[in-house]
Amino acid sequence: MTAEVTQPLDLRGLDPPEPMRRALEAIEQLDPSGTLEIVTDREPFLLHRELGRRHYGYVKEIRRDGCHTIVSRGFEQDRP
């Protein structure tokens, strides 16, 4: 049994559309059992909408150091 590793992706300080592009690229390369923690300067509303459109589940948390969005392939939503 292998422990699940969370891969960090710090996108703070980047100008749009770079955070969205890098986040989606990293999510597509994520292992089926992998987890990605994306950190941005502000809440990435467009990224969250795109994750829903692609049927990826996520958990977000606003912290003092930025918005943390946790994406896991294991969170994938049921497709219609």
Q: State pLDDT tens for residues 7-17.
A: 999 999 999 99
Instruction: Give the mean model confidence (pLDDT) for residues 46-59.
Output: 90
Task: Write phi, then psi, for 50 (nearest 5 degrees).
Answer: -65, -35
More confident residue, 72 or 76: 72
Q: From CA 12, how far away is CA 3, in angstroms rounded?
A: 27
According to CATH, the topology of domain 15-75 is Translation Initiation Factor IF3 (3.30.110)
- What is the model's pTM? 0.83
Each domain of the chain, given as residue ranges in start order, spans 15-75
Largest CA distance in the chain: 40
13 neighbors 44 (Cβ within 8 angstroms): no
CB within 8 A of 47, min separation 6: which ones? 19, 20, 23, 24, 38, 40, 69
